[in-house]
Amino acid sequence: MKSTRPVDNSKLNTEDPISPTAPRYAHTPRPSAPLRAVLFDLGSTLQEYRHEDWDAIIAAINRDLYAYIASRGQAHRLPPLDAFIELVASSVRDHRSRTAASLRSHSMVDVLGSVLRQQGIEDMRAEECLLPWYNRLTDLVYIEPDVEPTLRLLSDGGVKLGLVSNTTWPSVPHDGDLERFAIKDLLQCRLYSCEVGWEKPAPQIFEAALNCLGLPAEQVAFVGDFLRYDVAGAQGVGMKGIWKRVANRPLEVDDHTVVPDATITRIGELPGALETLYGWRPSSAA
């Protein structure tokens, strides 16, 4: 469900031709402006997913949605389950095609709102369905053991932290996941594309993050798993872009003409990359 985050269905099982063991750089960088903040992508960067049969997952969460709407006294207005699932899928495709053409983001509230209107369900708000709809995804989300200590190391070292995610799920379910992992409070600025209105790599969402941090781009690094969305978008507004390389992802799903400022394979490698790029160490933070 990569096109409608939070899930990432672009990770397919192919042989990974490179297995780096340390941060890599396109050239030997020279520290310039001091590091004051790091922004992260969410899916496949800070968070991982336990399951990759996304067709089955999408079908399951849509069945959950159907059951919830029916339980709220709307069963008589619903079509048969298969027809309902196709209505939701059609709404997702329609909204996604518009986003792909414009980078103007949409939310699952928009997706479901269209379906409810088609069915004449006007006394039920799409927002109330979000958590029952998302709930099954909660069990699939986890973070690697090095994520929380690395974020805490950066935060304790005086570095502001935030995230910028392409997602159609609003902040409520995502923030709930981050709180379970004890990292929500470490991420001062949390921008979800469906709430900002723009999707990476549009410059507007990166600029909104910089405004939230109150910092110039040259003092901020961005870490993400996609060259075309994360690294190129961040570099386009003047940040350094650090690529978190995902093992077994086919080369053709990304744009490898984009050159990251550094490459890591785990969040635990990030402090070393920041030291090389910015001369940052915990003791050097202001």
Mean pLDDT in order along the chain per 10 residues (286 residues): 36 33 51 89 95 85 96 96 96 95 96 95 95 93 98 97 97 97 98 98 98 98 98 98 95 96 98 97 66
d(CA 89, CA 59): 10
Residues 78, 97 share a domain: yes
The pLDDT of residue 217 is 98
Q: Domain containing 27 — which CATH number?
A: 3.40.50.1000
Residues 180, 275 share a domain: yes
Do the beta carbons of residue 32 and residue 213 sit within 8 Å? no
d(CA 92, CA 81): 17
- Identify the domain boundary among 138, 160, 195: 138
pTM here is 0.86
Report yes or no on 276 lying in a domain: yes
The pLDDT of residue 1 is 39
The pLDDT of residue 16 is 33
Residues 267, 195 share a domain: yes
The pLDDT of residue 222 is 98
Residues 30, 78 share a domain: no
**Count of residues in the chain:** 286
How many structural domains does the chain have? 2
The pLDDT of residue 24 is 56
**Which range of residues forms the domain containing residue 239?**
13-49+142-284
Q: Write the burial class of residue 145 (CB in 10 Å: 0-12 exposed, 13-18 middle, 19+ buried).
A: exposed
Do the beta carbons of residue 150 and residue 271 sit within 8 Å? yes
Residues 184, 165 share a domain: yes
Residues 149, 133 share a domain: no
